[in-house]
A and B are shown apart, each in its own frame.
Chain A
Amino acid sequence: MSLQSLDIKARSATTSPPPGARRTLEVAKLIDVSRCIGCKACQAACMEWNDLREEVGENHGFYTNPADLSDQSWTLMRFYEEQIEGSLQWLILKDGCLHCADPGCLKACPAPGAILQYSNGLVDFQQEFCIGCGYCSTGCPFNIPRYSKKDQKAYKCTLCSDRVSVGLEPACIKTCPTQALSFGSKEDMLNQAEHRLVDLRERGFARAAVYDPAGVGGTHVIFVLPHGDRPEAYGLPRDPKVSPAVELWRGWFAKSLGVFTMFAVFVAGIFHYMKVGPLEVKEDEDKEARP
């Protein structure tokens, strides 16, 4: 059931306009990678608040644990060892949904109301309407949605839409011990990120940058990356955008062309029949008709 039913900005597979009487403050989560120590408290808090339990897995030889996002793990600390400017860097990224302003998942979803975008910017899956087609992961430029093998529904970070709707900060923010995570209005978070950049540049991270990719209209989870010139080193795409194939496939042009084609076939058939009439063979004229 969607929370904040008055504050829906976009609804999957819905052509009528969403309720627009009220606009809420656009919010964002700021992930300051330079402050993150990789303690995984956010992972634990996410599982705790959302009441999820990942199965105990295997050691794959690196710190990332579990090995990937899943229906039980909506956020995941990913650890990368990268050679940057001649030295080994241990990069840690809290991976999860970025809550795009222009969400590819929502665009691709064929089930009405299975994906909602709230006016505060949160993108939320409504599993009760999910049909398990996987189009959301086809649409997502960040490879975020994960499917439950048990119920064939898609899951991902909700940005704790239930908590945010009642004025609380997301569980991961609340638990972060180093203030690497902050939550507030998008404007405030961008200001805070700019301050962090000044600090980081003073400390020698000349290429520090904010990751708020414009290709997807900006995101509601933004990062401060010390090596901002190399988002790929953190596993983030350099210039993410909803693929042109998805835009074409789910866009108004293809849909309109499809419907037009359908009606054109019906109309053409009816017109032809009315003008030309049926092609009949009279039982006694066939000898003459065919020399």
Chain B
Amino acid sequence: MTERAYDLTSRPRYEDDPNLILRYTHAARLTHWAVAVAYVLLFFSGLALFHPYFYWLSFLYGGGAFMRALHPFLGVSLAILFFAYAARIWRDNLFLPNDTLWLRRVIDVMNKRAEIPVEGKYNAGQKLMFWSMVLCILCLLGSGLVMWRPYFAPSFAASARRVAAVVHASIAFVMFVGIGVHVYAAYWTKGAIRAMTRGYVTRAWARFHHPGWYHEAAERTPRPGKGEVA
């Protein structure tokens, strides 16, 4: 058989669709999913340590001892990845005037009775999520370091470790609720998961959910072949 390679370069690519517009870059998506994987691993191992009903989850990690040793390293990895990501997007998460309206009418938004025009790349709910995650991860990182054996825990008094343990467990559940809302909102808002997997959203989606951001983004990447742009 002769060696033959089919040339696919001439085929239209997914991102060439003029109806699509880039929302999350490769780097943003990869960082997001790395954080997500770290979070899932942290959640299951943390849950196994928190409640004996879930101790069986330790078998996912090759037993309790390895899980216990791994958990803090995963935590630090998540913090590094998250804050690297946050450093790039925090400006887009500053609150804008229209965000108060969004927050006031959040019940209507949740029930599809109203859609509040969003000025920036993120709506007020996403911004709230962003800042609460910043806070949660800082608290978890700090309290986690205090409990981290064998490296840091021995230099802290038992009383400090006790407080850290309570803080770590409580904030972990606040974070779980936050992540739960985040995941559900992404599933509920059709098109959002595709935005974070493939990077693109339809122009209609962008106009509807994030009109302010759409106008900016559309200026940078005008729709080709429609006669609007020469």
Q: Would B169 and A258 count as touching, CB distance under 8 A?
A: yes
Q: Would B162 and A249 count as touching, CB distance under 8 A?
A: yes
Residue ID in chain A nearest B56 by CB atoms: A112
Give the Cβ gap from B41 to chain A, nearest Cβ, in Å.
Answer: 16
Q: Mark A248-291, 1 if CB is under 8 A from B, else 0.
A: 11000011011101100110110011001111111110110110
Q: Is B84's CB within 8 Å of the partner chain A?
A: no
Q: Is B68's CB within 8 Å of the partner chain A?
A: yes
- Known contacts A131-B67, A133-B68; decide if A281 and B205 are in contact (CB<8 Å): yes
Q: Is B176's CB within 8 Å of the partner chain A?
A: yes
Q: Which of B23-31, B32-40, B185-193 is the contact stretch?
A: B185-193
Contact surface of A with B, Cβ cutoff 8 Å: 13-15, 110-112, 129-135, 137-138, 140, 143, 147, 149, 152, 243, 245-246, 248-249, 254-255, 257-259, 261-262, 265-266, 268-269, 272-273, 276-284, 286-287, 289-290
Q: Would A132 and B153 count as touching, CB distance under 8 A?
A: no
**Cα A286 to Cα B191 with chains together (Å):** 14
Residue ID in chain B nearest A244 by CB atoms: B162
Interface positions, chain B 160-192, Cβ under 8 Å from A, are: 161-163, 165-166, 169-170, 173, 176-177, 180-181, 184, 187-191
Give the Cβ gap from B216 to chain A, nearest Cβ, in Å.
Answer: 16
Q: Which residues of A contact B159 (CB under 8 A)?
A: 243
Sorting the interface of chain B by its residue count into under 10, 10 to 19, 20 to 34 or 35 or more gives 35 or more
Give the Cβ gap from A173 to chain B, nearest Cβ, in Å.
Answer: 29
Q: Is B223's CB within 8 Å of the partner chain A?
A: no
Q: Would B149 and A286 count as touching, CB distance under 8 A?
A: no
Q: Is B50's CB within 8 Å of the partner chain A?
A: yes
- Known contacts A140-B158, A290-B208; decide if A112 and B190 are in contact (CB<8 Å): no
Additional A-B contact list (6), CB under 8 Å, known A282-B204, A290-B115: A111-B55, A131-B67, A132-B65, A133-B147, A255-B50, A281-B204
